[in-house]
Structure 1
Amino acid sequence: MGAVSLSYKGHRYPVEVISHCVWLYFRFPLSFREVEELMLERGVTVSYETVRRWCGKFGQAYANALRRRQPRPGDKWHLDEVFIKINGKQRYLWRAVDQDGNVLDILVQNRRDKAAARRFFRRLMKKCRMVPRVVVTDKLRSYGAAHREVMPSVEHRSHKGLNNRAENSHQPTRQRERAMKGFRGVGAAQWFLSAFSGISPHFRPRRHLMPAHNYRAEMTVRFAIWEQITGVAALATAA
């Protein structure tokens, strides 16, 4: 699969600079101003507002391209929801991962009632284009009510201790939320977290499960994929 179907035409900076700034912002807990400073140290003068526009234009497209390269989702889905503060108000971040820890989808909602759970179930099935074999959740009753309505033939396991995989997947988001000092709006939170959940995990292999040489080899492959989906590799080949 080639680069994302976005044009860099009209951009004064080369694709290598644009993709690198987007990678920095979504991979590490950095602000736009900190990305600007890091690029300045490398001899590239770019304003933080320009970095913000690049992330807004290309971040989700890069994330979608990376997701298309992922293997077919597993048939065991772990769902969980956590509260996040948006402009001082409590909202809920719904997240689903498969048995391998791959993020299937995230959704920011105002509530965690039956309607919210039902909406997330339907969104998941539409996005994944499949019905899971098993759904694992905590003991929130909204899950059970929505499950009986949307996917009654699917096995539902409701147990807090079985859902550590989904709960652990929230940790990078929590780290980023603290670095950003919260989100300013529901739309901004959904935009950032959707792109973040597609880009950040790509550069987070299970390092604790592999020796150093295997980790370096895996990261080399992942960086090569990044260059392919952003278009950097195509430009290098053309040159």
Structure 2
Amino acid sequence: MGQINMENSSNIFKWKHFESEIILLTVRWYLQYRFSYRDLVEIMSERGISISHTTIMRWVHEYSPEIAKRVRPHLKTVNDSWRCDETYIKVKGHWTYLYRAVDSTGKTIDFMLSEKRDAKAAELFFQKALALDHVQTPRVITVDKNPSYPAAIETLKKNKKLPQDILMRQVKYLNNIIEQDHRFIKKRTSPMLGFKSFETAKKTIQGIETMHIIKKGQVKLKNLSVPNNVQLFQQLFGSMA
């Protein structure tokens, strides 16, 4: 992996009342497992550490985007066969749309939470994914019957963001791989019973998706045991988590 900026790592925990190890541990557990904030309060209390559930919530909102940002440069390259779909996430009592894409082996390409489900949202999602360093220009994109996808792809072709000869397939059974992958994300978001704001939903989902990416073994780290995230977080943040 690349060089970690230790000074930058320490600055993001400046003025916190708890050690960085405790902060990252609780955030990682919340994002990865089906724990509530109050579950984590009890778990840490058994270890002699008193933390309020609102403090853990603030940590999740603050550090989920930081975890995602630090993982991104170290992702393995995905292949050029995209499977795209969206799933539903409740925010403030209303449904929003989580656009997601994986490659033909199930590796995460990218994700994006959107308040709308239309051609513009699909186009923004594709543009966001295409800008990532670990992503290849797709040779084929498999989508469902949502009419916004063909419209978005045509716009990107016209703007020369996608090649003219790209193959778009609307074949439901070929998208089973991403529909199965949605389940891992929904297992974590469903017990949360909805989010209070779009921004906090966006930040939390960044963390959940990143932990799922790590679990899939998409991070380039020599001698990393996939279930053991301690070594990975130690290198990303310069601390034990």
The answer, yes or no, to whether TM exceeds 0.5 is yes
Q: Deviations over 1:72-91 (max 9, x none)?
A: 22211111012332222222
Matched, 1:154 2:176: no
| Aligned residue in 1 for 2:57 | 52
Q: Could you state the TM-score of these two structures normalised by the residue count of structure 2?
A: 0.83
Compared CA separation, residues 157 and 61, structure 1 to 2 (3 A): same
Matched, 1:15 2:20: yes
Give the SS at the match of 1:219: coil
- Residue-pair matches, total: 224
Aligned equivalents of 1:175 and 1:29: distance in 2? 8
Structure 2, unmatched stretches of 5+, are 157-161, 218-223
Aligned equivalents of 1:21 and 1:88: distance in 2? 27
Matched, 1:69 2:74: yes
Matched, 1:163 2:175: yes
Give the SS at the match of 1:172: helix
Matched, 1:226 2:233: yes
Cα RMSD (Å):
2.4
Compared CA separation, residues 62 and 90, structure 1 to 2 (3 A): closer
Structure 1, unmatched stretches of 5+, are 206-215
Note the C-alpha offset of 1:100.
Answer: 2.9
Q: Could you state the TM-score of these two structures normalised by the residue count of structure 1?
A: 0.83
| Aligned residue in 2 for 1:85 | 90
Note the C-alpha offset of 1:57.
Answer: 2.2
Give the SS at the match of 1:170: helix
Aligned equivalents of 1:79 and 1:37: distance in 2? 39
Give the SS at the match of 1:112: coil
Q: Is the 8 A contact 2:64 2:206 kept in 1?
A: no
Paired-residue identity, %: 28
Give the SS at the match of 1:139: coil
1:189 to 201, 225, 237: 201
Note the C-alpha offset of 1:3.
Answer: 5.8
Compared CA separation, residues 153 and 197, structure 1 to 2 (3 A): same
Q: Is the 8 A contact 1:3 1:228 kept in 2?
A: no
Q: Deviations over 1:9-62 (max 9, x none)?
A: 222322221111111111112222221111111111222222222222222111
Aligned equivalents of 1:191 and 1:54: distance in 2? 11
Note the C-alpha offset of 1:165.
Answer: 1.6
Q: Deviations over 1:187-235 (max 9, x none)?
A: 2221111121012331356xxxxxxxxxx94424x431122113215x9
Counterpart residue identity of residue 140, structure 2: V
Aligned equivalents of 1:52 and 1:189: distance in 2? 12
Q: Deviations over 1:116-161 (max 9, x none)?
A: 2112111211234642121111122211121122124322121110
Counterpart residue identity of residue 227, structure 2: M
Matched, 1:200 2:192: no
Aligned equivalents of 2:51 and 2:183: distance in 1? 31
Aligned equivalents of 2:54 and 2:69: distance in 1? 23
2:149 to 133, 137, 143: 143
